Each structure stands twice: as structure tokens, then as C-alpha cells.
């Protein structure tokens, strides 16, 4: 479709926006030059149309409530992959921020509802090639900006351990479906902890890979410097199996090092973890909302690891307590520009864009900005005010401080093989009622991220495993490793899993699985 040539009024509005001080004669002078230059936009659109893929025909269903345990599915489908491969026979729930071609993608938000991708995300095409079956799209939080499971426009996702409580976010549906046994594995996205938060709340294994290890291509971005995709599974072995399939460069995501060579994470588990050194980060136990039962469960889990032949020592990483503040600035100003003003993908990076969703989402949110979630409204009010007044100065400061934060972690990891702390300072909280005020819903969306968000800023790999049950609910232990040494993180996680004889499941798991 040819680009609409702007009339004099449209050009005057642009001139006013940039303060160009152009009168009517100047606008008239520029007009034919602008129209001529826009001919290249028409040429690009024609060339793109000739190379864009054709959307595949794939059957899908929006399940009724009776067929949607825990309200965890957005849509269900059955897309069979290769006949054999490392994931053959395994069913996968794909977080609904990640594209499955021909299947609707909502990202939990009315601002994207109605969009259907043309292309599979890289992680989806890799899992299909490895023999997996895509069972559907799992509900995620509204634009993925919540650590609670109450913001999706399809309704709250309920925790299989206690349906009055949060399943965690933003990969809420993914974790609930895995814990309930409805699917074998799921994908999650993580910008502030969104793989590990629902894993800690539901008792699943959630691995946030090193930043850049897994291509983000085809997932809806929030902020390029903190975007991650990773697996949510019942066992560490399954997490390693999925990571083997989805890790590695795809040539389309500039977050990834060009010389990246992934490890064999499944083979690494066989090496065990005896003799490895654990740094127990005291600041991770000292968050203001820390629950004693959570801290005690994680320290007991460390004792289990020492009993399995590892050594542990209490250490201090003072920068850890600065991490959440640094994340606040990056994860507020960055998304205000990239995720909203520039329609998700932003500009100025070389990689595969999604032009269709950029236009669809950009038009839809501008037609009714009131449809943004309360958390995104907070981001826009805060980020917009700061950028308008200070022009991004604090974002630049925070990114510079992120280097210092990363160095602090690297220094600690020069003395230890992994670092350990509670994944979250607290256990799953009650789901707010639909009419709850923003004074309740916003804190409930962000109260748990203080430990997890730090490694989104630094990029270090971090895996949450169930540390044990407290008051009948799961707790999470987070294991953090050196950059691109995801294998050692998983070795320690696997050793703990073996030492405790596997992780517990709620009684509802077997019955929920039969409803799928």
C-alpha cells in the first residue's frame, strides 16, 4: 500500500514537534522534496512484500473455562514437530509473548489482541525441529509487566498449589501448566524475573540463561538490554534438554555474540557438582520483605548441597542491594521509549524485526492508551516525566552503573563457582480481587522482584529450583553462575534435585493433567 503523502497540515505538525520554525512558504517548499523522498518507502514496502513469509494454516482453539485449568491457556493447538529429536514426544506451552505463526498472540494485553504472527520465533522453530509438539499459547501478564499473575486481560492465572494465590508472573500460565502436568515443558520470558518468579511460586524449575545465549528473535521486546527467554520445567534434566535445543546464535538477534558456542547442558549434568564452591550472598536474605520461612528453607537447601559434597561460605556483595534501583531506571525509561513510544522493537539495532506487530500494536495503543495496565501506566508516567525533564540522563547513568554491578558479581564469582540466595523473599501472595485498587494491584505486581531483577541487569545465568515447602507452599532457591557458564548452574541445581529425591507436586497435578 503506497505511503500516504503528508499534506501541509501534517508537515506543519511535524515541524512544530521538532521546533523547526517553518512558515507556510517553507512548508510548501519542502513538500515536493518530502513527497519525492517518500517514494523510497513505497519501494521498500514492495520489496518486503515480495520476501515476507506466507502465514501457515494452523488450527487453534480458545478454550472454555471448563477446559482451561487455572485459566492458564490463552489458546490451545497441536502443532507436531519432527518425528524424532531430543524433544520428541514432549508437549510445550509457549508463553504468549512469543510468536507461533498462524496462532493468535495477545501478550496478555488488549493493545495486541487480534494480532496473528507470520513467523515462528526462533525458539519455536528450534523446538519443532527437535520433535516437540506445541500444545498452545500460555497466558502471560499484560505486556509482561508484572511479577504477579493478576494483570492479564484474560483474567488471573491461579496457582496449582492454592488457587487463591498468585502463580507468579509474567510467565504465569507457563509455570501453572507445567506444575499441573498439563504440558511437559514451557517457555518463559524474563526481564525482571519472569521465568524465575512463577517458578518459585509454583515449585517448578525456571532457568534464565545468560543474556544473549538464547535468541530473543520473535518474542515481544520490553527492553533490549534485559530481554531473556528460557525454559520452565518440572526437572533440571528437562531444563537442560530444552536449553540444548534453544541456545545458540541464530544470526538474527544482535544480543548474541557472533562467536557463541553453547555447551552440551545435558552432558554437563553427568559431571556432577562435588567440590564446587558456593557463595551464599547475605544481601539476598536481607530484603525488607523477606520471610523467615523462605530464608530458612534456602539455608537448609544449602546445607543439603554441602552434604552432597559442595562447599559453602557466607559472602557479601553490597552492590546486590543497589541492583533493584538500577533496574528500576532501566526498566522504566527503557520500556517507555522502546516498548511504547517506538512500538516494541525500537530502532537502531541490526536484527529481524516484526513490521506487522509494530504497526498493529502502535496503532492500537494510540487509539486508546487507557487500555494499558496499571503497571504500564506507572512506567509511562514515571519514565515519561523523567525523560521529558532530564532527557534520558538517568538511563545512561543506570546503564553505566550496570557495568559496576556486573563487575561486583564477576568478582564474587571469581572466588566461587556459583552464588546462592532466595529466588524471591516471599511466597505466593493472594490474588487481588478484580476490583482491587491500584494501591493494591501495583505493589502486588512488583513486590517480589528485588533479587531476581538484578541478574537481568547483569546478564548472569540464574536458575530457580524448589528449596522446599513452607506452610504448604513452594519456596525457591536461586543459583547464579558466571557469564555463559549455564552448565555449572544446572549441575548444582541437578545435584540438589537428586539429593532431595525430586521436587514435590500438588495433589491437583494429576487430575489437572487429565483435563488437557
Q: Which residues are catalytic?
A: 95, 170, 194
51, three cell numbers: 520476501
List of residues 6+ apart from 213 with CB closer than 8 A: 247, 248, 256, 260, 262, 461, 484, 486
Say which DSSP state 337 is in. Answer: I
Tell me the C-alpha to C-alpha distance, in Å, between residue 237 and each of 114, 134, 214, 361, 498.
36, 20, 18, 38, 10
Is 198:167 a contact under the CB 8 Å cutoff? yes
Rama region for 118: left / alpha / beta (φ>0; ψ in -120 to 50; rest): alpha
Burial of 328 (0-12, 13-18, 19+ CB in 10 A): middle
Q: Considering only the C-alpha atoms of the chain, give the largest distance between any 2 of them, rounded to a whole number of Å.
A: 82
- Alpha-helix residue ranges (DSSP H) falling in 428-504: 438-446, 452-458, 486-500
Could you tell me how many helices (H) and strands (E) the chain has, helices first? 17, 14
How far is it, in rounded angstroms, from Cα 333 to Cα 448?
20
List of residues 6+ apart from 367 with CB closer than 8 A: none
Amino acid at each position: 500500500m503506497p505511503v500516504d503523502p503528508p499534506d501541509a497540515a501534517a508537515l506543519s505538525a511535524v515541524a512544530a514537534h521538532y521546533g523547526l520554525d517553518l512558515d507556510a512558504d517553507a512548508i510548501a517548499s519542502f513538500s515536493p522534496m518530502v513527497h519525492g523522498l517518500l517514494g523510497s518507502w513505497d519501494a521498500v514496502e514492495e520489496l518486503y512484500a515480495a520476501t515476507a513469509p506466507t502465514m501457515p494454516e494452523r488450527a487453534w482453539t480458545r478454550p472454555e473455562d471448563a477446559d482451561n485449568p487455572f485459566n492458564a491457556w490463552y489458546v490451545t493447538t497441536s502443532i507436531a514437530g519432527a518425528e524424532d529429536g531430543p524433544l520428541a514426544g514432549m508437549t510445550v506451552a509457549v508463553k504468549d509473548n512469543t510468536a507461533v505463526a498462524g496462532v493468535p498472540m495477545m501478550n496478555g494485553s488488549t493493545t495486541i489482541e487480534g494480532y496473528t504472527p507470520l513467523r515462528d520465533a526462533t525458539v519455536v522453530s528450534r523446538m519443532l525441529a527437535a520433535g516437540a509438539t506445541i500444545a498452545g499459547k500460555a497466558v502471560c501478564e499484560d505486556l509482561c509487566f508484572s511479577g504477579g499473575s493478576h494483570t492479564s486481560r484474560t483474567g488471573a492465572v491461579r496457582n496449582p498449589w492454592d488457587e487463591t494465590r498468585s502463580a507468579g508472573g509474567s510467565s504465569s500460565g507457563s509455570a501453572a501448566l507445567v506444575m499441573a502436568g498439563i504440558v511437559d515443558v514451557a517457555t518463559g520470558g524474563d526481564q525482571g524475573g519472569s521465568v524465575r518468579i512463577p517458578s518459585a511460586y509454583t515449585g517448578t524449575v525456571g532457568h534464565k540463561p545468560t543474556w544473549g545465549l538464547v535468541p530473543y528473535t520473535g518474542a515481544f521486546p520490553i527492553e533490549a538490554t534485559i530481554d531473556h527467554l528460557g525454559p520452565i520445567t518440572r526437572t533440571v534434566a528437562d531444563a537442560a534438554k530444552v536449553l540444548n535445543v534453544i541456545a545458540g546464535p541464530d544470526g538474527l538477534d544482535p544480543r548474541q555474540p557472533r562467536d557463541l558456542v553453547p555447551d552440551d547442558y545435558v552432558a554437563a549434568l553427568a559431571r556432577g557438582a562435588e567440590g564446587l564452591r558456593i557463595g551464599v550472598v547475605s544481601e539476598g536474605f536481607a530484603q525488607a520483605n523477606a520471610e523467615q520461612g523462605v530464608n530458612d528453607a534456602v539455608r537448609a537447601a544449602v546445607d543439603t548441597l554441602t552434604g552432597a559434597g559442595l562447599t559453602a561460605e557466607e559472602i557479601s556483595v553490597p552492590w546486590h542491594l543497589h541492583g533493584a534501583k538500577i533496574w528500576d531506571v532501566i526498566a522504566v525509561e527503557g520500556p517507555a521509549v522502546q516498548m511504547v513510544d517506538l512500538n516494541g522493537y525500537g530502532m537502531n539495532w541490526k536484527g529481524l524485526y516484526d513490521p506487522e506487530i509494530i504497526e498493529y500494536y502502535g496503532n492500537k495503543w494510540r487509539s486508546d492508551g487507557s487500555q494499558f495496565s496499571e503497571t504500564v501506566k506507572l512506567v509511562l508516567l514515571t519514565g515519561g516525566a523523567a525523560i521529558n525533564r532530564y532527557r534520558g540522563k538517568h538511563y545512561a547513568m543506570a546503564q553505566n552503573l550496570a557495568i559496576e554491578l556486573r563487575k561486583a558479581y564477576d568478582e564474587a564469582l571469581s572466588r566461587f563457582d556459583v552464588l546462592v540466595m532466595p529466588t524471591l523473599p516471599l511466597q505466593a501472595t493472594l490474588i487481588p480481587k478484580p476490583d482491587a485498587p491500584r494501591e493494591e494491584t501495583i505493589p502486588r505486581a512488583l513486590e517480589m522482584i528485588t533479587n531476581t531483577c538484578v541478574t537481568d541487569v547483569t546478564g548472569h545465568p540464574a536458575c530457580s529450583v524448589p528449596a522446599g515447602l513452607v506452610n504448604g507452599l513452594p519456596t525457591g532457591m536461586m543459583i547464579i553462575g558466571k557469564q555463559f557458564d549455564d552448565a555449572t548452574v544446572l549441575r548444582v541445581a541437578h545435584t540438589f534435585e537428586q539429593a532431595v529425591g525430586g521436587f514435590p507436586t500438588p495433589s491437583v497435578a494429576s487430575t489437572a493433567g487429565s483435563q488437557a
